[in-house]
Amino acid sequence: MNVLITGGAGFIGANFVHQTLSRYPDARVVVLDKLTYAGNKGSLADVADRVELVVGDIADMDTVDPLVADADVVVHFAAESHNDNSLNDPSPFIRTNLVGTFTLLEAVRRHGTRFHHVSTDEVYGDLELDDPAKFTPETPYNPSSPYSSSKAGSDLLVRAWVRSFGIEATISNCSNNYGPYQHIEKFIPRQITNLIDGVKPRLYGAGENVRDWIHVLDHNDAVWDIIEKGRIGETYLIGADGEKNNKEVVELILELMGYDTDDYVHVNDRPGHDMRYAIDNSRLVEELGWSPRFTDFRSGLQATIDWYRDNEAWWRPLKAEVEAKYAAQGQ
């Protein structure tokens, strides 16, 4: 099997490359990644001899077309992925998330290649804190930020290419991931690496916003289940019933790292900050038999903290620049 993984040097993609090599030891794995600020060759260093890394842009058809022609399946992770960045400069989000996905779809259409599109629950907008509802595959799209609207647009392109051109594609919309190799601009690794440096965690606004946390390995297991067993043209929501507000997460990080649980600071809120995400995963569970392995958030978080402690060389070169950017916006 020839697997083309876009964004395979990013957080979720790099974990997916490792999982693919364990699940299919004979697979030929090709990664197409532009190595933006978010891509890191080091995340693939231990499997470098088993993976072909093509450094290139998913929006460049000359690069994309021959790779798709050689693939049996394309698993599409590449994206601009950070909401805060999309508020400062939306343009790369439009090019990568929309034009990049369009470019892949056109190549997939030409070559008849199986395609899986990795997306986010943020396409559904947000829920009120006191609303018992969760997102389902029928929830209307209502994205809030330039990031989530560009992902929503990319999902709709995939749906249209399935209906109009009959491409063989599936879509997954997953909740917030945590685990190893996540860029330290993101919430959990930012706070862990702050504390390693003796800096207090930064909570946006009151910290009441709720995210539905899932371990990255559980997300990626579901992606393989969907590729193997999912119905073409379907959307599957991936989540592991992990709702927690940001304050609870910061308090747990502080506790696990040996600090007082109130030892954090409130900083400027994110404009348009989504209040709550929550996933109804019943289609995935009932139809495909998926279940999460990492059901204990406390131990998953402890392992993640240990990973950042043990892999300082991986994140240290990024830290000063990330924090300077946040400081400039009072965060």
Residues that are catalytic: 121-122, 147
Binding residue (CB under 6 A) for ligand TDX from 108, 162, 203, 284:
203
Q: How far apart are the first and last CA of the chain?
A: 45
204 binds ligand TDX (CB under 6 A): yes
Give the alpha-carbon dihedral of 174, 179, 185, 189, to 10 degrees. Answer: 140
CB burial of residue 228 (10 Å; 0-12, 13-18, 19+): exposed
134 binds ligand TDX (CB under 6 A): no
Q: Give the residue with the Cβ less far from ligand TDX, 107 or 292.
A: 292
Could you list the residues that contact ligand NAD (CB under 6 A)? 6-7, 9-13, 32-36, 38-39, 57-59, 77-81, 96, 100, 118-120, 151, 174, 176-177, 183
Residue 6's alpha-carbon distances to 76, 139, 140, 239, 317, in angstroms, are 5, 27, 27, 22, 24
Instruction: Report what 193 binds from ligand NAD, ligand TDX, none; CB cut-off 5-8 Å by kind.
Output: none
Alpha carbons 141 and 148: distance in angstroms, whole number: 10
Instruction: Report what 202 binds from ligand TDX, ligand NAD, none; CB cut-off 5-8 Å by kind.
Output: ligand TDX
Instruction: Report what 83 binds from ligand TDX, ligand NAD, none; CB cut-off 5-8 Å by kind.
Output: ligand TDX
Phi first, then psi, for residue 276 (nearest 5°) are -150, 140
Shortest gap between Cβ of 121 and ligand TDX (angstroms)?
7
Tell me which residue has its CB nearest to ligand TDX: 120
Phi first, then psi, for residue 322 (nearest 5°) are -60, -45
Instruction: Report what 33 binds from ligand TDX, ligand NAD, none; CB cut-off 5-8 Å by kind.
Output: ligand NAD
Q: What is the largest CA-CA distance in the chain?
A: 58
97 binds ligand TDX (CB under 6 A): no
Binding residue (CB under 6 A) for ligand TDX from 76, 117, 211, 276:
211
Q: Measured in whole angstroms, how far is the alpha carbon of residue 60 from the centre of its chain?
A: 22
C-beta of residue 222 within 8 angstroms of C-beta of residue 239: no
11: alpha, beta or left, given left = phi > 0 and alpha = psi -120 to 50? alpha
Residue 281's alpha-carbon distances to 43, 148, 177, 320, in angstroms, are 29, 20, 15, 38
Q: Give the residue with the Cβ less far from ligand TDX, 314 or 326.
A: 326
Tell me which residue has its CB nearest to ligand NAD: 10
Token couple for 228: 């193997």
Residues 37-96 that bind ligand TDX (CB under 6 A): 81-83
Q: Give the residue with the Cβ less far from ligand NAD, 99 or 267.
A: 99
Shortest gap between Cβ of 260 and ligand NAD (angstroms)?
28
C-beta of residue 215 within 8 angstroms of C-beta of residue 252: no
Alpha carbons 54 and 63: distance in angstroms, whole number: 9
Q: Give the residue with the Cβ less far from ligand NAD, 59 or 217.
A: 59
Q: Give the residue with the Cβ less far from ligand TDX, 63 or 209.
A: 209
Shortest gap between Cβ of 217 and ligand NAD (angstroms)?
13
Phi first, then psi, for residue 114 (nearest 5°) are -65, 135
Shortest gap between Cβ of 100 and ligand NAD (angstroms)?
5
Q: Give the residue with the Cβ less far from ligand TDX, 76 or 190.
A: 190
176 binds ligand TDX (CB under 6 A): yes
DSSP state of 151: H
Shortest gap between Cβ of 270 and ligand TDX (angstroms)?
6
Q: Measured in whole angstroms, how far is the alpha carbon of residue 44 from the centre of its chain?
A: 17
Q: Which residues bind ligand TDX (CB under 6 A)?
A: 81-83, 120, 122, 176, 186-187, 190, 202-204, 209, 211, 246, 270
